[in-house]
Amino acid sequence: MYECGTFVTVDLQFLVDAHICVFEDVSSYGRYLCFNHAITNHEDAIHLARLLTPYSPSPPPSYEEANMIIQQRLSNKKLNKVMVDFESELLLED
């Protein structure tokens, strides 16, 4: 997925806000791709792998892998249009 430019992640707060925004917008319809970070380089992929499996050793990157940037092929333009004026209404209590 990473090498094809289709590996993305989403922050939980962004995911919650997107669901609320799409639900409240009467003009929204269809399917939405929800993500706010695309894994486009080797460093990001290694960082995510360490977050998911902190005790596994990571392979040493080759020079080409370390400097290569993968073009992102996914777009969340439709969701961004809906969320332009949306402000998160979630308040965290201390």
Query: Could you report the per-residue pLDDT of 6-20, keeping only the tens digit for each?
Result: 788 999 999 999 999
For 34, the 3-state DSSP assignment is: coil
**Does residue 63 register a pLDDT over 60?**
no
Q: Which of 7-16, 43-52, 65-74 has the highest mean pLDDT?
A: 7-16
Alpha carbon distance 72, 50 (integer Å): 22
Residue 48 pLDDT: 87
Alpha carbon distance 59, 43 (integer Å): 12
Residue 20 pLDDT: 92
